[in-house]
Amino acid sequence: MGHIANLREFSMNIKHVAITACAMSALFASTAFAEIKVGFIGSLSSDTGLSTLRGAEIAIDELNAKGGILGQQITLVTADTGEDVTEGIKAYEFLAETEEVDFIVSGSIDDVSLGWMPRMREFQIPTLDTWTSYIGIIDMLVEDFDSMRPYFMNIASDEALATLYIDFGKDVLKDQMGWNSVFILQEDTAFGGAINGLVTDALAPNAGIDVVDTLVYDVATVDFAPVFSRAVDSGADFIYLISSVNSQVVSSQYVKLQVPLGMTGVNVAALGQEFWEDTGGAGGGISTLSPVPSVGFRLDAASQAFLDTYQARYDSRPSFPHFNGYNAYFGVLQAMAAAEEAGGFNNTTWVDAMEKQDLILEIDGEMWIRYAFWGNDEVEPRTGRTYPHNVRFDITEPYDDGSPSMVVIQWYEDGSNAVVYPAKYATGEFVLPSWVEK
Amino acid sequence: MAQIIIQGLLLSGLYALIAMGFTLIFSVGRVLNLAYGSYLMIGGYVYFYLTQLLGVPKIVGILMATVAGCVVGLLIYRLLVKQLKGDHVAIEISTLILAVVLQAGIVLLFGDSSKILLPIVPGVIHVGGATVTFSILAATIISWVILIGIYIFIRKTHTGRAMQAVSMDAKGAAISGIDSDRINMITWGISGTLGAVAGVFFASYTQLSPSMWVAPLIIAIAVVIVGGIGSIIGTLVVAHIIGFMEILTTAILAPEMRGVFTMLLIIGVLVIRPRGLFGREEL
Amino acid sequence: MDLRWHHFALWAAFIGGMLALPQFVSSGTLRTIIFANYLAIFAISWDILSGRTGYISFGHPFLIGIGAYTTAILTKRFDIAVEYAIPSAVLMTMVGGLILFLPALRIKGSYFALVTLAFMELIYQLVQVIRPDLTGGTRGMSGIPTLTLGARDGFYLSFSLMAAIALSMWLLMRTRLGTALSAIGMNEESVRGSGLSTTRLKLFAFLTGAFVAGLGGAFYVHYLGSIAPRALFDINFLFTILVAALIGGLSTVIGPMLGAFFLTFLLEYLRPYLPGAERYFIYGGIALLLYMYEPKGILHLFSRGLDRWRERVSS
């Protein structure tokens, strides 16, 4: 069944090649009349980039159907980065100087965002990042707020993700599963190092789980058999995986090799609904933390409406938007609303208006998801630091001040998935793969 | 210990298969085909497209992948290598450009996101503390069968001997009536076929992605450089040196240094012993 | 030295025309030219090292990266002023050039190309593993001080740098030294036979190439304001440099410049029509066809056209 959808996507791609030229010239003809221009920066051939792009497209079409903003229609210009850092810089310059866009929505990955960040500082164009969660960027706002003012990030920064994840370690891994020791399997990237540092420092004192050993592996590793052998030999109760690059390889080999230990952690490949298809079904038993709204997440009415529109409109990959698709959709709506209030995208007034945006999505009268931003001086009580212009997250129960920074999702061996933590958001149970002896 | 030996043998078998097609072209034509990694990519994607998107039986998928690899190999020879008439540097550069073009082509057709192949042969077996999937076991066995087959082909058949002759002395072979163009054609075809088969197995180890051609190319380069031009036995031995070195680095030392050692080995051997450890200039 | 007044008139006209350009074109175009300028610098330096001597280096990003990373680390991590950081970066790159030179003493041809490729892969991995607190690891660094603000200033700086490099290399290559370098590319044995030290000549080519690469890399990173291993030590980056030099015309200074401008503009002008991966496909395809069917480069194409035109005029 899965391959039919994929086949359609394949032929779509071929057709896409043929019609792109016509479509683009049509798009260009229409830009001449528009006044408000939104730029998209990201990879046009990755699920991540497309999620953001499509979220923005849907938001803009909705607004245009209602007459646009400030009495004008909005057009969307795309600039492909191909997930290449230098291309990302060129793309940002293209949007800023050739297209002179008013606002940029980004689905860039970490190093690409870092690449164009000096251009954002230079051009001072309001920019919303929806995928990268790198705390280093928020730190840049802390250090030099003035030059970073127009930048907003509406996904919880990775530090907040890791902090809440420690609670999962305590509540589920320790108290529910009775695990006392962990083997950390970390990819050799800055992201891996950062998360590992947080987990190692916090897991033992807060959750009472000892780190038996840590293994750092090269992201181009072909064969994980010796890696898993070392994990099993270490005598730990479970494996904590930190993987953002080529995560499919390590997770599918875990499944194919039927490693007799539970494995959870951060597995970026498992964040999308396509994970099952991409691993050819070798994804059962994998769990990972995910920003919200994740796969398996119970959606409120507004998010569900967005998902329905999305699925009615696009029949190629990704068939479900990643979390950044939702973030882009609501983020673009908020950015445009802020422009309406501020009378444009002026650097001072727009930023002030954007800071005041606050969208609370509820289920049964309870706060479910919140799109708002931390103020410049607001201190998050648990970590004791500020997160200027980062999406307002909540990392303490009962999550009534914002969305939780993350949830833990679980893939089951029948290809289904569910949120398993925190309890408020849970739609399923945390389970071990069938081949692991309890 | 047992598991290191088992895992080392499995990985090395795969590496030997990857390097073999590259060695053949390097020996017979003295040409570095930097688009060699693309054969693996094409083989892997064709297999994926047929078996996982169209639902064709796996064996047909592998066969079609080899056909595709063979055709691409022949096309590269006819359209590119032959045009450049033995200008080695020009061939290296144009095959490098071609590899980048093919990568863009794959992005165009299949997108950027990586894909995982279903196990070719499902199931696992536990041997001496090591877990071995049937897929990888099958890959190693097939790899050995192919390697032995190639060895026999080159030693025993008429065409194989002609290949050997061209690899040792192209001019001399031409004088003694060997049609070196035909021999080159055959070599490029075989190389493409081997690359595509290796690609299916390599992808079943790791993943399919548009940049997957780089890693096997570097493995092939490492094996050929360290092994020295063209010796099949040398290729086999060095594939095992590199395979075991990787497994040992991962199991005992620091796994993140895996690639660093391979690079140091290439540089070291090239500078100290440019002809390779087994530098006989024949097949 | 074979210098004619009209050569200098052409250079002056070219530099004058380019410096007047910001009056006429949009800042978007200027941005594109900035990238073309830097690519031209890299292609020129590759041509000095490889194009002339015939020692094809696949590791040029290795040199550029050393320059870029040195100045990025010095300015960002140690707050050292750019005036000191850039010269240090150039020196470091020349040390890198020496390292690259060592294998050239023993091997050439395909083997040399491969060992340089291995150098690039090696440093790509090392940068991420060793001292990520300095190098920024996989993500690289952002917020490196920039020398200029705005497209216009960036254009003036990058063009001045490129023009200065191009002019001095052009002059250098017209000396006997330059002729001897090109002769190595054609036949190393006969150069040795004529009593010249090929080792010293090659060393000179490697150091000059590294000098230019380091200078270009350092200014480049201070233009970008960010650096990432994946953007520098990458086969795709190598590909653009190589292709610019090759399809422009080897063993010339103008050729790599032409190639760099042609390729940068080709890629940028495809963007509005083909925003996605199609762009790279067509770009690579054109590069391959040009290389296959006009291996002497665009420059040769131009001069042939010019000759034909002259013939027609004179007849």
pLDDT tens digits along B163-174: 888 887 777 888
Q: Which long-range contacts (CB under 8 A, 24 or more apart) does A269-275 make?
A: A269/A243, A269/B114, A270/A409, A270/A411, A271/A295, A271/A322, A271/A323, A271/A409, A272/A47, A272/A318, A272/A320, A272/A322, A273/A318, A273/A319, A273/A320, A274/A47, A274/A317, A274/A318, A274/A319, A274/A320, A274/B113, A275/A248, A275/A411
Closest Cβ–Cβ partner in A3, A222, A257 for B54: A3
pLDDT at B1 over 80: no
Q: How far is CA A410 from CA A158, A247, A320, B114, in A?
A: 19, 15, 17, 21
Residues 6+ apart with CB under 8 A from A305: none
Q: How does residue A203 score in pLDDT terms, banded at 50, 70 and 90?
A: confident
> Is there a common fold for A2-157+299-359 and A159-297+405-425?
yes
Bigger pLDDT: C313 vs A231: A231
Contacts of B259 in chain C (CB under 8 A): 121, 125
Q: Is the dihedral of CA A284, A286, A287, A291 positive or negative?
A: negative
**Rounded Cα gap, residues A311 and A80, in angstroms:** 23
Two tokens at B14? 């795969």
pLDDT at B246 over 50: yes
pLDDT at C163 over 60: yes
DSSP per residue over A49-69, as a string?
HHHHHHHHHHHHHHHHHTT-B
Peptide bond into A205 cis (omega under 30): no
Q: Is B11 on the interface with A (CB under 8 A)?
A: yes
Q: Is the dihedral of CA A133, A139, A140, A144 positive or negative?
A: positive
pLDDT at A378 over 70: yes
Closest Cβ–Cβ partner in C54, C110, C288 for B101: C288
Residues 6+ apart with CB under 8 A from A436: A259, A260, A261, A262, A285
Q: Is C284 on the interface with B (CB under 8 A)?
A: yes
pLDDT tens-place string over residues B20-33: 999 888 888 778 89
Torsion of CA A239, A242, A243, A244, to 10 degrees: 160
Residue C241 C-alpha from the chain's centroid:
6
pLDDT at A23 over 70: no
**Rounded Cα gap, residues A419 and A422, in angstroms:** 8
Terminal CA-CA length for chain C = 32
**Rounded Cα gap, residues A292 and A271, in angstroms:** 10
Q: How does residue B219 score in pLDDT terms, banded at 50, 70 and 90?
A: confident
pLDDT tens-place string over residues A397-435: 889 899 999 999 999 989 899 999 899 999 999 999 888
Angle, helices B232-251 vs B258-272, to 10°: value is 140
What per-residue confidence (pLDDT) applies to B89? 79
Per DSSP (E only), the strands in chain B are 124-127, 130-133
How many Cβ atoms sit within 10 Å of the Cβ of residue A72? 14
pLDDT at C137 over 50: yes
Lowest-confidence pick of A201-205, A304-308, B24-28, C7-11: A201-205
Identify whether the C-beta of residue A308 lies closer than 8 Å to the C-beta of residue A37: no
Closest Cβ–Cβ partner in A85, A116, A218 for C230: A85
pLDDT at C169 over 90: yes
Residues 6+ apart with CB under 8 A from C23: none
Identify whether the C-beta of residue B96 lies closer than 8 Å to the C-beta of residue C239: yes
Mutate to test the interface with A, among B1, B14, B113, B246 (most CBs of A within 10 A): B113
Identify whether the C-beta of residue B59 lies closer than 8 Å to the C-beta of residue B50: no
The stretches of C108-253 forming alpha helices (DSSP H) are 109-129, 132-135, 150-173, 176-186, 188-193, 198-224, 229-232, 235-248
pLDDT tens-place string over residues B172-195: 888 888 888 888 899 999 999 999
**Mean of pLDDT over chain C:** 88
What per-residue confidence (pLDDT) applies to B57? 93
The rounded percent of chain C whose pLDDT value lies above 70 is 99
CA atoms within 13 A on the CB side of C147: 21
Q: How does residue B115 score in pLDDT terms, banded at 50, 70 and 90?
A: confident
**Rounded Cα gap, residues A9 and A316, in angstroms:** 5
Residues 57-76 of B with CB under 8 A from C: none
Radius of gyration over every alpha carbon of chain A, rounded to an integer in angstroms: 22
Instruction: Scan for tokens 């200008």, then name that residue.
Output: B87
Beta carbons of C273 and A80 less than 8 Å apart: no
**Rounded Cα gap, residues B85 and A292, in angstroms:** 58
- The segment with the largest mean pLDDT, out of A189-193, B188-192, B225-229, is B188-192
pLDDT at A3 over 50: no
pLDDT at C82 over 90: yes
Torsion of CA C56, C62, C65, C66, to 10 degrees: -120
What per-residue confidence (pLDDT) applies to C230? 83
- Looking at the structure, give the CATH architecture of the domain made up of residues A2-157+299-359: 3-Layer(aba) Sandwich (3.40)
Bigger pLDDT: C2 vs A22: C2
Two tokens at C37? 């300028």
| CA closest to A84 among chain B residues | B112
Beta carbons of C242 and B88 less than 8 Å apart: no
Lowest-confidence pick of A60-74, A161-175, B242-256, C83-97: B242-256
Helices (H) and strands (E) in chain C, counts: 15, 2
Q: How many residues does chain C have?
A: 315
Beta bridge partners of A369: A361
Q: How does residue C136 score in pLDDT terms, banded at 50, 70 and 90?
A: confident
Q: Are β-strands A210-217 and A181-187 bridged in parallel, bridged antiparallel, or unpaired?
A: parallel
Bigger pLDDT: C154 vs C185: C154
What per-residue confidence (pLDDT) applies to C315? 64
| CA closest to A143 among chain C residues | C143
Identify whether the C-beta of residue A95 lies closer than 8 Å to the C-beta of residue A37: no
pLDDT tens-place string over residues B39-67: 999 999 999 999 988 989 999 999 999 99
Q: Is the dihedral of CA A190, A249, B37, C102 positive or negative?
A: positive
What per-residue confidence (pLDDT) applies to C1? 54
- Give Dmax (Cα) for chain A: 67
Subunits close to C (at least 3 CB pairs below 8 A): A, B
**Rounded Cα gap, residues C160 and A351, in angstroms:** 38
Two tokens at C2? 């074979």
Q: Indicate the DSSP class of residue A72.
A: B
Select from A160, A122, A112 the least CA-distant residue to A139.
A160
How many Cβ atoms sit within 10 Å of the Cβ of residue C176? 9
Beta carbons of C122 and B97 less than 8 Å apart: no
What per-residue confidence (pLDDT) applies to A354? 96
- The segment with the largest mean pLDDT, out of A351-365, C250-264, C282-296, C301-315, is A351-365
- Average of pLDDT values for A341-370? 93
Q: How far is CA A212 from CA A199, A230, B248, in A?
A: 13, 11, 21
pLDDT at A27 over 60: no
Contacts of A134 in chain C (CB under 8 A): 139
Q: Min CA distance, A249 vs chain B (Å)?
A: 5
What per-residue confidence (pLDDT) applies to A2? 40
Q: Min CA distance, A421 vs chain B (Å)?
A: 27
- Average of pLDDT values for B100-108? 91
pLDDT tens-place string over residues A142-176: 999 999 999 999 999 988 888 888 889 889 999 99
Radius of gyration over every alpha carbon of chain C, rounded to an integer in angstroms: 20
Q: How far is CA B202 from CA B80, B242, C246, in A?
A: 26, 16, 33
- Looking at the structure, give the CATH architecture of the domain made up of residues A159-297+405-425: 3-Layer(aba) Sandwich (3.40)
Peptide bond into A422 cis (omega under 30): yes
Q: Are β-strands A74-80 and A36-42 bridged in parallel, bridged antiparallel, or unpaired?
A: parallel
Beta bridge partners of C63: none
Subunits close to A (at least 3 CB pairs below 8 A): B, C
Q: Are β-strands A238-243 and A181-187 bridged in parallel, bridged antiparallel, or unpaired?
A: parallel
Q: How far is CA B183 from CA A105, A393, B28, C156, in A?
A: 56, 67, 8, 56
What per-residue confidence (pLDDT) applies to B229? 64
Bigger pLDDT: A307 vs B108: A307
What per-residue confidence (pLDDT) applies to B191? 94
**Rounded Cα gap, residues A257 and B122, in angstroms:** 10
- DSSP three-state, residue A224: coil
Angle, helices B180-205 vs B134-156, to 10°: value is 170
- Average of pLDDT values for B210-226? 86
What per-residue confidence (pLDDT) applies to B114? 80
**Mean of pLDDT over chain A:** 87
Q: Indicate the DSSP class of residue C84.
A: H
Q: Which long-range contacts (CB under 8 A, 24 or more apart) does C232-236 make?
A: C232/C61, C232/C64, C232/C65, C232/C68, C232/C69, C233/C61, C233/C62, C233/C65, C233/C120, C233/C121, C233/C123, C233/C124, C233/C127, C234/C61, C234/C124, C235/B96, C235/B100, C235/B214, C236/A84, C236/B100
**Mean of pLDDT over chain B:** 85
Identify whether the C-beta of residue A157 lies closer than 8 Å to the C-beta of residue A387: yes
- Average of pLDDT values for C26-34? 91
The rounded percent of chain A whose pLDDT value lies above 70 is 92
Beta carbons of C281 and B104 less than 8 Å apart: yes
pLDDT at C275 over 80: no
**Rounded Cα gap, residues C244 and C247, in angstroms:** 6
Chain C: residues touching A (Cβ < 8 Å): 26-29, 31-32, 35, 125, 128-129, 132, 136-144, 146, 149-151, 224-226, 228, 230-231, 236-237, 268, 271-280
Q: How does residue C2 score in pLDDT terms, banded at 50, 70 and 90?
A: low
What per-residue confidence (pLDDT) applies to A317? 83
How many Cβ atoms sit within 10 Å of the Cβ of residue B265? 18
Q: How does residue C104 score in pLDDT terms, banded at 50, 70 and 90?
A: confident
Identify whether the C-beta of residue A277 lies closer than 8 Å to the C-beta of residue B113: no
Select from A242, A258, A228, A245 the least CA-distant residue to A193.
A242
How many Cβ atoms sit within 10 Å of the Cβ of residue A400? 11
- Average of pLDDT values for C101-109? 82
Q: Min CA distance, B23 vs chain C (Å)?
A: 14
Domain ranges of chain A: 2-157+299-359, 159-297+405-425
Lowest-confidence pick of A95-99, A380-384, C232-236, C294-298: C294-298
Beta carbons of B83 and C292 less than 8 Å apart: yes
Identify whether the C-beta of residue A229 lies closer than 8 Å to the C-beta of residue B130: yes
Q: Which amino acid is at A181?
A: S
pLDDT tens-place string over residues A366-376: 999 999 999 99
Backbone angles phi, psi at A253, to 5 degrees: -70, -35
